[in-house]
Structure 1
Amino acid sequence: MEIGEIEKAKKRCESVITTIENLPLSTSCKRTLLKLASSELSFLSSLSTNHPSQNPLSINIGHVESVLRILQLPSVTGVSRVCKPIVGVYVDLVCTLGKVPVWIIVSDRNPKYISWSDDCHGSKGLRSRIGSILVAAKSTMTLKPSSVILFFANGLLSSIHERLREEFGAQDFDFGLDFDCEEMLEGEWVNVVRTRSYKESVSVEIKLIEDECDTLESEVVVQEESTELRENDGYFSCVISSMRLQGEEDFLVNFDTTALVALVSGITNGCAERIVDMPEVELEEKFKGNTVFVIAQARSEIEDPVLVKMGSVLAGKRGIVCKSVLSEFKELVSMYAGTNEKLRAEQLLKSLMVVNDNPAERVMGLPTTRKLAMKNKIVFGTGDRWKAPTLTANMAFVRAEAQFGMSLSTINHSPRALTGD
């Protein structure tokens, strides 16, 4: 391998490392990717520049580049595991794609060297590898994907492409992004694949769980709908009116109790500055032992208004709420809400579709712990079954489920409390 090629490969590694550091991934996922890229860079740096190899050098940085390119897709969220073995098989990405959990397998091999059958030396062919992955995917409960997606970065021979269709029912899959386009990430231009093209790439999907939409229709509890809005509720009214009163599966958002409370809270709806300016004696009398907690939320609201974020998230969407959340929310409102908060709660509930508690099996398969409480598994699991992201401030649950490698579609917001407004 020529010195120029070694230096070019080293620059690719350095570019990948920079990109990894800027990606919004968990610490464990970043650590795994950085270890792979740094290991490749160390190997390349160890090569003698005075006596470069005369033989072509096989480098692995292309595989990490391809994984990162998929990670940059806007539709890829809830990444819980990267380049790790799961139930005995290697999976490049465990994530949510769109609104469903998937496993993604990435190949950066030259298509000429991708064999279908096992060879006489014991090396597994693509057929055996896929078979093992599908067995593992079907055997796990909490990490079970709706589908397995195979991404061949350098393309695939037509003969093998056809066998994937015939034996595994694979269907061509479109990630929905031009791989030659640059992406804006965290306010900076990032393009780790500037020196290569993915025009020849091939993606296929093998579905494991069929669409359950037809069976969910009977679970809807009819809720009275109303477009009547109170004029003095300001931005709250704008957010509610921007939501759909009817909508299809692609436009659903699942509300947990924290989201409902945040929407109707006095802090969110104009009382934040008044709370911050309130004398300490009045604060203690009104909020008792929760004074510090409420003030912190009020200051947070002034700096980063919750309704602004929720407005962008909920516009054009249909909100759903499961019965257990509805019951808990009504109880909280009856006990702690003031007159205005109660009126907003009433208006909000008229804009939502109530569904039965019916959590997905994979979520219920999680162990029940303090952070993974049964009531939370029911809420997030019901959203998962409806393929609706859950709007929540319950980051303890989100972090806990991620530790088990599960990928759930969630939309986070800052917590807000009822104030008696």
Structure 2
Amino acid sequence: MDVDHQEHENLVTLGVTIEEAKKRCEAVIDTLETLHLSHSCKHTLLRLIQSELAFLSRFSSTDSAPEFEPSPICVNIGHLESVVHILQHPKVSGVSRVCKNIPLHLSIRNGGGNSDSKGAHVDIVCSFNGNPVWFIVSDRNPKYISWHGQHDSSKNKGLQERVQLLLEVAHNSVSLTPSSIIFFFSNGLGGFTREKFHSVFGAIDVKSKFSNFDVNFSKELEGEWLDIVARSYQEACVLEIKVDCSQDVSKNPLVANPSVKVNDVNLGGSFGHFISQMILPKGRNIDGDLINFDTTALIAIVSGISNGNTQKLLATPEDELKIRFKGNTGFVIDQVMSEIEKPIHVDIGKVISGRIGIICESSCSEFKELVLMCGGVNEKLRANQLIERVVIVPDSPSARMMSLPTTRKLALKNKIVFGTGDYWHAPTLTANMGFVRAVLQTGMSLFTFEHKPRALTGD
């Protein structure tokens, strides 16, 4: 559950096995480059893998004479492979931290009492299936995983004590508080320890959510990707402990807005097809996957650029465009070219398909004001039709979002919009990636989908 050479129990012998471990390091580095992670997260993982590679490079097959029994050494590459394996899971998003220590505020712990703990190591802070989650990864041999540990050893703490510390840190982290902690034991877990997980902490088995057990780590050679390391997680044990039950939206069901139109209406064009992909609520209490729209998403959906006016705008004389859009002319033309290359209704249609659209009251008010001031007749018509087909929810930002400081980059209005999506465990569709990056930089995970911006054109 950490990356210290002295604490890992994966033993390898000198010689060919060292070379194999080095190849595994190189393959994981190449796989890491294919992941969509922040620069900070990639840098952390790359530094750890390169450190492991440097450690291995100090040994070679000639270090032990043939007449001597090869000496075992500890390696961490299995742990790092497992972390990267989880990062590849399609349900993992919004990764904000990897292989970091999350501090425990001493003023909170035990009422401000003394503690020798500075926090707990967490391998991945992210969103998993839309919920904020911490992943703890262990690549140890199960026979070396002790539930009670050695009480007279500060370094060899038992698993029970580690889990208790993790839960304490999680409950007191506010902005980083996960809804659950998932423990991924890549080599399995002994029956006694697994039973203790269930009986002491109420853990549930979630291995079924990790069905891709056979993994190939690849390396690019001469322009082609070759699988050079194969690994199986068939014996893995994956356990989840629930942490934050205060935000259980099932206890406060989403109630449909009476204005939502449930009748089928032929709206025509890409806009009509886009709208038809969203699920319309059929009763007062809404049950299903949600998608939260911020103002940028609402504007992009109804914009003339997204609805067939690209060629008309390109044919408009430049002088007329400058009068119409003033200093934003260049941005509008860039958006036109982006739309021609990748139509936005098709692009984000993949995200909203099968979901119920929600918008908070703040987004709804801002959207209506912008359309009233800048929208044309057709854009206003589409805006009205869009509002009629989403559920307007009260501003109800999550506690963890509101715990973040309000700054220029973390504006209050954005915290309300994104926080409301977070409260309902709904991803937010947005072009405001500056805010998303600012949130991730605080260490808090956030479930979002990005779209390209589109402006109102007066269509």
1:113-166 Cα distance to aligned partner (Å, 9 max, x none): 001113133321101111111100000111110001111010111001111111
Partner of 1:71: 87
1:356–1:191 CA distance, 2 compared to 1 (3 A) = farther
Structure 1 CA distance, aligned partners of 2:423 and 2:306?
A: 30
Q: Does 1:245 align with 2:280?
A: yes
User: 1:167-316 alignment to 2 at 5 Å?
Assistant: 167-174=200-207, 175-180=209-214, 194=230, 196-210=231-245, 212-217=248-253, 220-227=256-263, 229=265, 231=267, 233-246=268-281, 249-316=287-354
Partner of 2:108: none
User: 1:127-146 alignment to 2 at 5 Å?
Assistant: 127-146=160-179
Please, which of 11, 19, 36 is the counterpart of residue 24 of structure 1? 36
Partner of 1:83: 99
More helix by share: 1
Please, which of 399, 402, 406 is the counterpart of residue 364 of structure 1? 402
Q: What is the DSSP-based 3-state SS (H/G/I as helix, E as strand, rest coil) of the residue aligned with 1:142?
A: helix
Q: What is the DSSP-based 3-state SS (H/G/I as helix, E as strand, rest coil) of the residue aligned with 1:57?
A: strand
Gaps of 5+ in 1: none
1:146–1:190 CA distance, 2 compared to 1 (3 A) = farther
What one-letter code is carried by the residue in structure 2 that aligns with 1:302? I
What one-letter code is carried by the residue in structure 1 that aligns with 2:128? L
Runs of 4 or more, structure 1, over 6 Å off, are 183-186, 188-192
What one-letter code is carried by the residue in structure 2 that aligns with 1:54? P
Q: Does 1:323 align with 2:358?
A: no
Q: Does 1:105 align with 2:105?
A: no
1:16–1:159 CA distance, 2 compared to 1 (3 A) = same
* Residues 264-273 or 119-128, more deviating: 119-128
CA positional deviation for 1:226: 4.8
Aligned residue-pair number: 419
Retained in 1: the 8 A contact 2:100–2:122? yes
Q: Does 1:397 align with 2:441?
A: no
Retained in 1: the 8 A contact 2:397–2:415? yes
CA positional deviation for 1:168: 1.0
Q: Does 1:5 align with 2:36?
A: no
* Residues 280-289 or 332-341, more deviating: 280-289
Partner of 1:55: 71
Give TM-score, length-normalised by structure 2: 0.87
Retained in 2: the 8 A contact 1:182–1:189? no
CA positional deviation for 1:254: 0.4
CA positional deviation for 1:302: 1.3
Retained in 2: the 8 A contact 1:256–1:379? yes
1:232-270 Cα distance to aligned partner (Å, 9 max, x none): x41110010121102755421001100000000001111
Retained in 2: the 8 A contact 1:102–1:146? yes
Structure 1 CA distance, aligned partners of 2:226 and 2:366?
A: 44
Structure 1 CA distance, aligned partners of 2:70 and 2:352?
A: 59
Q: What is the DSSP-based 3-state SS (H/G/I as helix, E as strand, rest coil) of the residue aligned with 1:415?
A: coil
Structure 1 CA distance, aligned partners of 2:295 and 2:264?
A: 23
Retained in 2: the 8 A contact 1:19–1:192? no
Retained in 2: the 8 A contact 1:151–1:203? yes
1:91–1:319 CA distance, 2 compared to 1 (3 A) = same
1:150–1:249 CA distance, 2 compared to 1 (3 A) = farther
Structure 1 CA distance, aligned partners of 2:343 and 2:274?
A: 13
Q: What is the DSSP-based 3-state SS (H/G/I as helix, E as strand, rest coil) of the residue aligned with 2:74?
A: coil
CA positional deviation for 1:20: 1.0
Q: Does 1:346 align with 2:379?
A: no
Structure 1 CA distance, aligned partners of 2:229 and 2:249?
A: 38
Structure 2 CA distance, aligned partners of 1:218 and 1:263?
A: 24
1:368–1:376 CA distance, 2 compared to 1 (3 A) = same
Retained in 1: the 8 A contact 2:357–2:389? yes
Question: Percent identity over the alignment?
Answer: 52
What one-letter code is carried by the residue in structure 2 that aligns with 1:255? F
Structure 1 CA distance, aligned partners of 2:263 and 2:319?
A: 41
Q: What is the DSSP-based 3-state SS (H/G/I as helix, E as strand, rest coil) of the residue aligned with 2:184?
A: strand
Structure 2 CA distance, aligned partners of 1:14 and 1:409?
A: 30
Structure 2 CA distance, aligned partners of 1:226 and 1:148?
A: 39
Q: What is the DSSP-based 3-state SS (H/G/I as helix, E as strand, rest coil) of the residue aligned with 2:153?
A: coil
Structure 2 CA distance, aligned partners of 1:241 and 1:182?
A: 39
1:287–1:189 CA distance, 2 compared to 1 (3 A) = same
CA positional deviation for 1:50: 1.9
Structure 2 CA distance, aligned partners of 1:273 and 1:335?
A: 24
Please, which of 40, 47, 63 is the counterpart of residue 35 of structure 1? 47
Q: What is the DSSP-based 3-state SS (H/G/I as helix, E as strand, rest coil) of the residue aligned with 2:458?
A: coil
1:359-416 Cα distance to aligned partner (Å, 9 max, x none): 1100011110112111110111110111110010111110000000111110100011
Structure 2 CA distance, aligned partners of 1:113 and 1:170?
A: 21
What one-letter code is carried by the residue in structure 1 that aligns with 2:196? R
Structure 1 CA distance, aligned partners of 2:33 and 2:277?
A: 37
Retained in 2: the 8 A contact 1:182–1:190? no
Structure 2 CA distance, aligned partners of 1:242 and 1:125?
A: 51
Q: What is the DSSP-based 3-state SS (H/G/I as helix, E as strand, rest coil) of the residue aligned with 2:157?
A: coil
Structure 2 CA distance, aligned partners of 1:306 and 1:158?
A: 51
1:198–1:17 CA distance, 2 compared to 1 (3 A) = same
